[in-house]
Amino acid sequence: MSKLSHVDEQNRPTMVDVSDKAVTDREAHARAIVRLPTEVLAALDGDDIATKKGPVFATAIIAGVMAAKRTHELIPFCHPLGLEKCKITIDVTGQQAVVDCRCKVHHKTGVEMEALTGASIAALTIYDMCKAMSHDIVIGETRLISKTGGKQDFYRDD
């Protein structure tokens, strides 16, 4: 079994020491799927959903970017990163909103958690803003699609 990166020799939780790592360009892409019931899809007007709270997808994009920038405040052992890029897109395909979050940084550590956090919070914002229309909204799979620039690159091929 491989050693966990966030546990020290005495089996105590710890932040990973990145002091000897090389600074490289690092990118990550994460995706969250939000299944939308018919009532919510009926409110779709163009490429957004209008509610009393405001434009759903535009607000979710802002919330996701804000969350990605603050990932280190939410997840205890994440290093604080000055993100150089965070782009969130939301596309409706069939009965689901596909939330993609792409992050980039020039640093010693990767941005997978930032991308996953951005996609997750954008999905939660969609739920929050649409829950008055239906509680049958389902936040489904949230996963890493790709990452580059670290010890090893990763690309999901499905």
Tokens at residue 155, please?
A: 């690309």
Task: Report the alpha-carbon distance of residue 125 to residue 60 in Å, rounded.
Answer: 5
- Cα-flanking dihedrals φ and ψ of residue 100, to 5°? -110, 130
Interatomic CA distance for residues 87 and 120, integer angstroms:
13
**Of 25, 128, 153, 158, which one is the catalytic site residue?**
128
Q: Confirm whether 128 is a catalytic residue.
A: yes
CA distance 121 to 7: 27
Task: Return the amino acid letter for 41.
Answer: L
Give the C-alpha distances (Å, rounded to integers) separating 143 from 11, 13, 106, 132: 28, 24, 22, 27
Rounded CA gap, 101 and 116, in Å?
7
Catalytic residue set: 128
